[in-house]
Structure 1
Amino acid sequence: MRRPLILAIVDPGLRSILAAYLTMAGETPISTADHLDPTLDATLRDRAILVIEEPLIASAPRDWTETLRDQCWTGFVIIIAHTLHEPVPENDGVALVDRHSAPAAIPPIIQRWRSQPAL
């Protein structure tokens, strides 16, 4: 079964542009402004690929991954950072992407993750 793709993005312009890029890449994103919405239950959080904008994560940058894991987001996660001074390598199913390059950078990351046998 294909993992659902959740977009949790505050900025409506970024959310629209990213949804368009992902749709052109063959994805069907589910868009929300609240990644803690109860309709996104534990089963969905366990399976989903989450693309989330930095302001939605209520913790310091060093704790972002732990915070999201504590909220039951155990699948792959892409965090859109507003201030990413240098590239950060993917680590344990988590990728950090600079906000300005997000529309072009995120679809290939998702495609690469989907091409892995476990997905």
Structure 2
Amino acid sequence: VAPTLIHGAGLASCWLAGALSAKAFESESFDVSGGKGYGTVIARIVQAGAFATGILILSTQTSLLFEFGSYVQLGDSEETDLRLITVAVELINDIFFEAITLASWRLYRASLTADQSD
């Protein structure tokens, strides 16, 4: 259970930093009322996701550096190849599913500010 919680906390830190860097907590970043449209909402989602992805990749590379004690790449050994492929799959899954979840939430949240016509 502990490794999963640590992994989740690391992901949350990356996505929180991404949201802060994109100013995704400002009301204008999810306000689509008055015909403003979803342009700002989507732009902030992309900005936050790009920043968070960069931090996640950098922290993963740092973790691999500490794990192996030096720079590793595919072809060094079977052990490093297996670990690098595993890490790549985990990164892709983390980025994809977090992006879908957070983008869905932000789009839903923005839709709540849309003008309701009776």
Indicate whether the TM-score tops 0.5: no
Larger RCO (CA under 8 A, 6+ residues apart) = 2
Short-chain TM bin: under 0.3
The structure whose Rg is larger is: 2
More helix as a share of residues: 2
Could you tell me the TM-score, scaled by structure 2's length? 0.24
More strand as a share of residues: 1
